[in-house]
Structure 1
């Protein structure tokens, strides 16, 4: 899966690429996972990369929820 993975999960907002890359390193650090010195993540275990990705998603959902809650109002069904 590592081969070609750059093309399968494209960032919707290209300007956010650097921020997402930095976010990945921050999350890995929070989890105590050693990041690759050369920037190549393909030699890492699936368990570690999955933990990083899963934690990133949880944190992004939390940020979105906080943003929506801060707006007030919103839509209800």
Structure 2
């Protein structure tokens, strides 16, 4: 049976949307993509867009691990 991937890009906790948006902007700025919110994401490479998501996950994991200590 084929699995469906629809809806995988939605925020599961709506209250977290603003925080995730701030994190995305912060991470994009850290990797040299200033004004990320106003940039047409279609004009960025997959590598650039993927880097933002990857670094967001890295930051979230680091934050979680710090909370465990």
Indicate whether the TM-score tops 0.5: yes
Matched, 1:54 2:54: yes
Residue 9 of structure 1: aligned partner:
9
Structure 1: which 5+ residue stretches go unaligned?
1-6, 70-77
What is the Cα-based RMSD across aligned positions, in Å?
1.6
How many residues align? The count is 62
Structure 2: which 5+ residue stretches go unaligned?
1-6
The structure richer in helix per residue is 2
TM-score scaled by structure 2?
0.76
Q: Distance in 2 between matches of 1:36 and 1:45?
A: 15
Q: Kindly name which structure, 1 or 2, has the bigger radius of gyration based on alpha carbons.
A: 1
